Structure 1
Amino acid sequence: MPQSRGEELMKKSITRRYFLGGVGLTLAVVATPAGFRFLAGRKTDTLSEVLRPSIWVRITPDDRVTVLMGKSEMGQGIHTALPMIVADELDADWNQVRIESAPVREEYDDPDAQQGHVTYGSTSVRHLYEPLRRAGAAGREMLLQAAAQRWDVPVSECETSQSQVLHERSGRAFSYGQLCEAAARLPIPENPRLKEKSEFKLMGTAVPRLDIPAKVNGQAQFGIDIFVPDMLYGVVARSPAYGAKVLSYDEPAAMKVEGVRYVGEIKRGIGICADTLDAAWKGKEALNVKWDKGVQPDLSDELLDSIFRESLDKEGASARSDGDVEDALSQAHKQVQAEYFLPYLSHATMEPMTCTAHVLPDRCDVWVGTQGQTNTLQKTAQITGLDPEQIYIHTTYLGGGFGRRGWTEWVEEAVELSKATERPVKVIWTREEDMQYDSYRPGNSSRIVGGLDEEGRLIAWSHKIAASSIIASLFSKIGGDSLLFRVIGFFRSVDAPAVEGLENIQYEIPNMSVEYVEVKTPIPVIFWRSVGNSHNAFTVESFMDEMAHAAQKDPVEFRLQHLQHNPRAHRVVEVVAEKSGWG
């Protein structure tokens, strides 16, 4: 009989070929109500004493319930949300729950993303909800069975609450820690009973976040907080224009700066390492680097504006085509046309990009707040020549991510400089560098033409969007032959992120077309929080206001009129109007 998706995730075979071909052990980041702390490993419990109902969960004799996963905490709350799922099914005492970063190896990969350790797209709870529920439920059943055997009573007479198994008739109780060893000897149930929603005690409630105490008392460590003995500080003189090459620089002048220990060329510029960050900055200033003009020296806001405007006159690739837009517009009682231009945007995370690396002949340690541990491991392996098993990714808290920290430029710089100096190196970007060398939300322009019938209903919507391609940028970063992108279906003429919120627009319009025109500039682009929706929601809703005005209708009523068969979206608009005191 074929396995269900849940059974597959419970067993999660470790024989599937790891697409990066290796593993890396993370330094555990542990959350407790008393705060987070870093652990190099736990050796106080023997294997026989630990109950592991799933790779995601560990229950130990001290009554601790530890949830392991490859998801990064950047303020979105998953280091609380994910343990809640386990704890609810397990009936665990919330005060005994903690979380550890899982080793960067296949069995802890995101079960749905097929991209290793990644945190992106608001998918953490969605992807791990089922496996974590099943893990908690399996642990609960094993503990119930272990207690029933110890008491020689039917399992049906036992119940769980607050990390205890209770036998109400006799008044006896065992803590989960007391049952660990016996439960660990039992087979893991393949199909544990999951609770009904009415049985939930934690999910859907406001529990104390596990990370708050440490963030309040200063114990929480972000990438920028890392200090390693004998560490140097690294900065990089990067090109001031896209594609610019170094013509000359004054290495002796930089080396004369007190505290500067190393100057040398790396992939993205000229690296300077020093005893202090201030000395590294002064060494960078002394370099007096001369650059050529780069690949597009005339790049300016004015040029970009003209490029995006001209792109709207080009033929686009079809992303959506419903009905006959051209015919409907020709018969419309009233037409409205508008154009929108949105800029490239920096991610502007609160914590600038930073990484600490220590390359040794037989291992490499990387301390970084990252949304992509697997990608980080892969890039480190390429630079060092080490096997993935020799690389240890230590995931810290992230001072904001928004998609930016899925990439690795600052990691690569730290690893390159550590390899060159044979010492630990901490690279910290300045705020100015963080803005200037970001990979941005794509700039874009839209031309929308809408048609109304005599009753003021939308009968046609033609939408052409011109934008830089995130997918093309990813191909250039990772490689055009990447099996990953072919598998997930991004090898297409329409940039999928660019038309998010347009391909699936919620309003009911019988005749609708969406076209995409790729805009090519040297400006790098990547995912930015909510991706295409971040700009398309603005253009769509702005144009809906224009159409409501043309129809001489209230903007809220106009929207509700075009959501008659979408009750959920219809109710969202109603609630927003109610909460905002509209009208």
Structure 2
Amino acid sequence: MNARVSRRHILRTGAAGATLVLGFGLYQMRPASAEASSAGLALFAPNAFIRIDSEDRISLVIDKCEVGQGVYTSLSMLLAEELDVGLDQVAIEPAPPDEQLYADPILHLQATGNSTSVRSSWMELRRAGAAARQMLIAAAAAEWRVDPSRCRTERASVLDNGTQRRLGYGSLAATAAQQPVPQNPRLKQPEQFKLIGKSPLRVDLPGKVDGTAQYGIDVRLPGMLFATVASSPTFGGKLDSLDDSPTRSIKGVHHVVTIRAQEFDVGGYKLHLDDAVAVVAENTWAAQQGLAALEPAWDRGPNQHLGMDDIVHALEAASERGGLVARHEGDVDKALSTAATRLEARNYMPFLAHAAMEPLSCVADVRGDNCEIWTATQVQARAQEIAAQLAGLPPEKVTVHNLFSGGAFGRRLELDGVALAVAISKQVGAPVKLVFTREQDIRHDLYRPFYHDRLRAGLDANGKLLAWHHRIVGSSIFARWAPQAMRSDGLDPDAVDGAIQMPYAFPNLLVEYVREEPPAIPTAFWRGVGDTHNAWVIESFVDEIAAVAKQDPIQFRRGLLSHAPRALAVINLAAEKSRWDKILPPRSGRGIALAYVFDTYLATVVEVTLSDAGLVTLQRVVCAVDCGSIVHPDTAIAQIEGGTLFGLSAALWNEVTLRNGRVEQSNFNDYRTIRIDETPEVEVHLVPSRETPGGLGETGTVAAAPALTNAIFAASGYRVRQLPIIKSIEGLKRRA
């Protein structure tokens, strides 16, 4: 077969056995793994591929990390739907690290994030499955000498409608490989779907129930040692001296390892590690006892007096500067000068930790000219590269085993855990398992930035919005994480995400960004990324404008959405399902928030009651979601439920604060999460749609905080301008 076939589809068979391999992708195809070559297969490997073997097994290589969002199931369903196989017949293989082969078409690198998994795979996986099915039908028709139109498929078999003959896909693999690759395979119409739109059992569920599923923290190897680590307690601090004699006397301790500060650059991604010390032992308990006995002396460095007042004052000073223009329409200053009513607001959002249920962990084995790591990462190729740099090896000598993750929220887009594990293993010459304690995980996270926002708006005499000015001040994540994504003038697209593509129509609009970096504090993506921050600021201010205009919050928003029917539809559905017009008791209120994020429209209504002491009780949450075509409805609902609770929890209680250059929070006692007795009923209403799928993994988080603070205003008349809400408890107390 000519190797220059479709860049999206390639089919090959080899002498070692009948195997049908169908690859697909948006980028150039390259020769596949050595394993395939050694099996006698001449094939190309794009960013994912299908393999059908002689036993009718269908394998799908997935470049996404399963962090609980159900992506293994959803992507398998796309393939199985068009291939006409049962979901139980699809096997999942995690993709190896390779930026060229497995780069996400939206993110342009091998990564799981930004709610792209289904969005980026929707057409590619379906086309791959449909093309394979068409070739298998052609192969069977040729063998039976009938017209392909007489054949149909089901459960990994081709059937002859005339005679009811049946051939399994595996038995057809060799002859199917000789069929031409369809350039535009016919896809099923929605009314033909057997899987898409249904909620079959998740493919990862049995293993998670019976304990056979392996998370990063579960790995155990023969001869493996266990490590725990302590980094400089202040950002930028240095290790002065170390008395490790008490530690070495503890039974089971093998090594005390010193790790000096290092800087890494992986394709523009930058990571800094502060000085650290690690104890390596026969078991975790001995390692933790040994670490507790260590007596390191730290030079606290240039940030030893840094506190929150310093950070906030710097942001406020920066907000006085004009920023980079992210979006500009009309003449905002002129409209404001003629406005009958003008409003201004300042909002503050805190640093946030990720605090995933499974803390960072990595098993590294660096011996000789090979390095092998077992972890749960959202960036496989970067993990390979940073391990190679530390081990002093070429990347091809590093093997990455990517496992299930007990939550991520953006934390596993970072590689400090991998880097430390590899550094420790290299020094001790043995496989080492590093697990962050909860304290290490929170105090040495990479944090959602602290943001300060300034807003101005103008209304005419009839309460109609004339002008909107939004200035965003905060750290740039992309400058460190993916500088190639920055605009040429230095504008960070994440910082303004959600602020420049609002669903509302404003006649005069100006959105600016001022970059202001906190000293030495690493910032990173957090669930919902820039949208989570901007949605709270924007939806709070829209609500405030509605109140000044003496209009109902939903009715006011409707007036800004005449051009956006999908946004208007979710607002109306949320109002209906939440019984928006029903009168509530005193000190109770409902709040609404609208978001258009990750190609999904979401309206969330939160209902609260306030105690006389100012404590907030969550009564009910209603979410109306238009995410386009829905692959697995139960998973879609679960993602909105989980994301909403995650966002509510953060809005109520979470912040990371600094005193004397170190993080004050350490565990769930002072970085708390919502508890089961505090969890409200969450109703999710999905809008039927045939639009291209939108993202859901982060969407619920985005609208949670603004809906909550707007509900608090409705209940109390108090406008929350600083998160978390617990800081506003004095303002929420009942006044005599």
- Equivalence for 1:28: none
CA distance in 1 between partners of 2:321 and 2:211 (Å): 54
- CA 1:4–1:323 in structure 2 vs 1: closer, same or farther (change >3 Å)? farther
More deviation, 264-273/437-446:
264-273
* 2:483 paired with 1:468: no
Equivalent residue in structure 2 for 1:532, among 518, 530, 550: 530
Please give the residue correspondences for 1:218-297 in structure 2 after superposition, counting only pairs within 5 Å.
218-267=211-260, 268-297=275-304
- Residue 311 of structure 1: how far off its partner (Å): 2.7
- Equivalence for 1:500: 497
AA matched with 1:495? D
* 2:397 paired with 1:390: yes
Q: Deviations over 1:299-351 (max 9, x none)?
A: 22233332333332233222222111111111111111111111001111110
- Equivalence for 1:314: 321
Q: Deviations over 1:202-228 (max 9, x none)?
A: 112212210111111111111111101
- CA 1:305–1:261 in structure 2 vs 1: closer, same or farther (change >3 Å)? same
CA distance in 2 between partners of 1:382 and 1:302 (Å): 38
CA distance in 1 between partners of 2:510 and 2:9 (Å): 42
- Residue 191 of structure 1: how far off its partner (Å): 3.0
More deviation, 301-310/252-261:
301-310
Please give the residue correspondences for 1:39-54 in structure 2 after superposition, counting only pairs within 5 Å.
none
- Residue 189 of structure 1: how far off its partner (Å): 3.0
AA matched with 2:167? F
Q: Deviations over 1:374-401 (max 9, x none)?
A: 1000001101122222211001101111
- Equivalence for 1:566: 564
Equivalent residue in structure 2 for 1:579, among 556, 577, 580: 577
- Equivalence for 1:156: 149
Please give the residue correspondences for 1:107-126 in structure 2 after superposition, counting only pairs within 5 Å.
108-113=101-106, 115-126=108-119
- Counting strand residues as a fraction of each chain, which structure ranks higher? 2
Please give the residue correspondences for 1:71-82 in structure 2 after superposition, counting only pairs within 5 Å.
71-82=64-75
* 2:88 paired with 1:95: yes
CA distance in 2 between partners of 1:3 and 1:179 (Å): 21
- CA 1:390–1:123 in structure 2 vs 1: closer, same or farther (change >3 Å)? same
Find the residue that maps to 1:159 and give its secondary structure. Answer: strand
Please give the residue correspondences for 1:60-209 in structure 2 after superposition, counting only pairs within 5 Å.
60-105=53-98, 108-113=101-106, 115-209=108-202
Equivalent residue in structure 2 for 1:444, among 448, 451, 468: 451
AA matched with 2:403? T
Asked if 2 retains the 8 angstrom alpha-carbon contact of 1:69 and 1:108, the reply is no
More deviation, 212-221/104-113:
104-113
AA matched with 2:24? M
Please give the residue correspondences for 1:396-475 in structure 2 after superposition, counting only pairs within 5 Å.
396-474=403-481
- CA 1:48–1:143 in structure 2 vs 1: closer, same or farther (change >3 Å)? farther
Asked if 2 retains the 8 angstrom alpha-carbon contact of 1:24 and 1:392, the reply is no
- CA 1:6–1:547 in structure 2 vs 1: closer, same or farther (change >3 Å)? farther
- CA 1:64–1:3 in structure 2 vs 1: closer, same or farther (change >3 Å)? closer
- Equivalence for 2:512: 515
AA matched with 2:545? M
* 2:362 paired with 1:365: no
CA distance in 2 between partners of 1:554 and 1:379 (Å): 53
CA distance in 1 between partners of 2:45 and 2:468 (Å): 55
- Equivalence for 2:711: none
Find the residue that maps to 2:24 and give its secondary structure. Answer: helix
Q: Deviations over 1:77-123 (max 9, x none)?
A: 11011111111111112221121112223563125157542111111
- Residue 179 of structure 1: how far off its partner (Å): 2.0
CA distance in 2 between partners of 1:162 and 1:211 (Å): 21
Asked if 2 retains the 8 angstrom alpha-carbon contact of 1:24 and 1:105, the reply is no
CA distance in 2 between partners of 1:297 and 1:54 (Å): 46
**Count of aligned positions:** 550
Q: Deviations over 1:485-544 (max 9, x none)?
A: 33x444432222111111112211111111212222121101111111111101111111
Asked if 2 retains the 8 angstrom alpha-carbon contact of 1:49 and 1:180, the reply is no
- Residue 237 of structure 1: how far off its partner (Å): 1.9
AA matched with 1:516? Y
- CA 1:3–1:513 in structure 2 vs 1: closer, same or farther (change >3 Å)? farther
For normalisation by structure 1, the TM-score amounts to 0.89
* 2:28 paired with 1:13: yes
- Equivalence for 1:19: none
Q: Deviations over 1:401-457 (max 9, x none)?
A: 111101110101111111111100000001111111111111101111111112211
Asked if 1 retains the 8 angstrom alpha-carbon contact of 2:486 and 2:492, the reply is no
Please give the residue correspondences for 1:542-553 in structure 2 after superposition, counting only pairs within 5 Å.
542-553=540-551
AA matched with 2:204? D
- Equivalence for 2:334: 327
The one of the two structures with greater contact order (alpha-carbon pairs below 8 A, sep at least 6) is 1
Asked if 1 retains the 8 angstrom alpha-carbon contact of 2:491 and 2:513, the reply is yes
CA distance in 2 between partners of 1:371 and 1:531 (Å): 15
AA matched with 2:566? R
For normalisation by structure 2, the TM-score amounts to 0.71
AA matched with 1:248? S
Q: Deviations over 1:232-263 (max 9, x none)?
A: 11122210001001111102332222211111
- CA 1:240–1:393 in structure 2 vs 1: closer, same or farther (change >3 Å)? same
AA matched with 1:462? H
- Equivalence for 1:36: none
Asked if 1 retains the 8 angstrom alpha-carbon contact of 2:29 and 2:101, the reply is no
CA distance in 2 between partners of 1:114 and 1:529 (Å): 16
Asked if 2 retains the 8 angstrom alpha-carbon contact of 1:53 and 1:139, the reply is no
- CA 1:123–1:281 in structure 2 vs 1: closer, same or farther (change >3 Å)? same
CA distance in 2 between partners of 1:210 and 1:423 (Å): 34
Point out where structure 1 has 5 or more consecutive residues left out of the alignment.
17-22, 26-40, 475-483
Point out where structure 2 has 5 or more consecutive residues left out of the alignment.
11-22, 261-274, 582-736
Asked if 1 retains the 8 angstrom alpha-carbon contact of 2:355 and 2:441, the reply is yes
- Equivalence for 1:304: 311
- Residue 147 of structure 1: how far off its partner (Å): 1.0
- CA 1:139–1:287 in structure 2 vs 1: closer, same or farther (change >3 Å)? same
Find the residue that maps to 1:499 and give its secondary structure. Answer: coil
- Equivalence for 1:477: none
- CA 1:48–1:495 in structure 2 vs 1: closer, same or farther (change >3 Å)? closer
- CA 1:252–1:514 in structure 2 vs 1: closer, same or farther (change >3 Å)? same
AA matched with 2:288? W
Q: Deviations over 1:461-483 (max 9, x none)?
A: 11112111112333xxxxxxxxx
Asked if 1 retains the 8 angstrom alpha-carbon contact of 2:354 and 2:409, the reply is yes
Find the residue that maps to 1:289 and give its secondary structure. Answer: strand
CA distance in 2 between partners of 1:56 and 1:504 (Å): 34
- Equivalence for 2:639: none
CA distance in 2 between partners of 1:415 and 1:172 (Å): 56
- CA 1:411–1:6 in structure 2 vs 1: closer, same or farther (change >3 Å)? same
CA distance in 2 between partners of 1:534 and 1:50 (Å): 43
Q: Deviations over 1:176-216 (max 9, x none)?
A: 23322332343433332222333222112212210111111
CA distance in 2 between partners of 1:403 and 1:200 (Å): 33
Asked if 2 retains the 8 angstrom alpha-carbon contact of 1:49 and 1:60, the reply is no
CA distance in 2 between partners of 1:42 and 1:307 (Å): 56
Asked if 1 retains the 8 angstrom alpha-carbon contact of 2:446 and 2:523, the reply is yes
Asked if 2 retains the 8 angstrom alpha-carbon contact of 1:50 and 1:59, the reply is no
CA distance in 2 between partners of 1:114 and 1:5 (Å): 20
